[in-house]
């Protein structure tokens, strides 16, 4: 079956611009996660959705970052007034329920470059 997909695969933008990154989770998965992977580092947690609601957004670095999941499926990560430090690979994952040790399936990521 289809895995987690993310679009675009690459995004180049200029400092100060607004960007949206999309994630399509595995069908039927209620839990969705966003992580950010900077160069040479492991992914870092950003936000967790259970259904339509953000159950935990404690990893979002500041109020320029926002994510939605209006129908409990597709999610969009939105970054306002992008900065060069936002350059990273943004990973999306989904899992069937979201409980402890529930396997998270990762998408290939969106590589964001802010010039």
Partner 1 sequence: AQSVTQLDSHVSVSEGTPVLLRCNYSSSYSPSLFWYVQHPNKGLQLLLKYTSAATLVKGINGFEAEFKKSETSFHLTKPSAHMSDAAEYFCVVSDHNDYKLSFGAGTTVTVRA
- The yes or no reply on residue 40 touching partner 1 (CB under 8 A) is yes
Instruction: Considering the complex, state which of residue 20 and residue 44 has its C-beta at the smaller distance from partner 1.
Output: 44
- Assess contact for 11 and 79: CB atoms under 8 A: no
Binder of partner 1 out of 12, 56, 61, 84 (CB under 8 A): 56
- The yes or no reply on residue 25 touching partner 1 (CB under 8 A) is no
Distances (CA, A) of 68 to 28, 39, 41, 84: 17, 26, 26, 23
CB 57, min distance to partner 1, A? 11
- The yes or no reply on residue 44 touching partner 1 (CB under 8 A) is yes
Query: Which 3 state secondary structure label does DSSP give 35?
Result: strand
Binder of partner 1 out of 8, 16, 61, 108 (CB under 8 A): 108
Binder of partner 1 out of 43, 65, 82, 114 (CB under 8 A): 43
Instruction: Considering the complex, state which of residue 73 and residue 95 has its C-beta at the smaller distance from partner 1.
Output: 95
Which candidate, 62, 4, 45, 37, places its Cα nearest to that of 112?
37
Question: Which residues have a Cβ under 8 Å from the Cβ of 98 and sit 6 or more positions away?
Answer: 30, 31, 48, 50, 55
d(CA 42, CA 88): 11
For partner 1, the binding residues (CB under 8 A) are: 3-4, 31, 33, 35, 40-45, 48, 56, 59, 91, 93, 95, 98-109
């Amino acid at each position: 079956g289809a895995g987690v997909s993310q679009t675009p695969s690459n995004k180049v933008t200029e400092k100060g611009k607004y960007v949206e990154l999309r994630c399509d989770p595995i069908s039927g998965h209620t839990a969705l996660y966003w992580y950010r992977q900077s160069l040479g580092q492991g992914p870092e947690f950003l936000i967790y959705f259970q259904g339509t609601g953000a159950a935990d957004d404690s990893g979002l670095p500041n109020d320029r970052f926002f994510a939605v999941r209006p129908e409990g499926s597709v999610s969009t990560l939105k970054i306002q007034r992008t900065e060069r430090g936002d350059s990273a690979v943004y990973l999306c994952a989904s899992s069937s329920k979201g409980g402890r040790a529930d396997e998270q399936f990762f998408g290939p990521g969106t590589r964001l470059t802010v010039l």
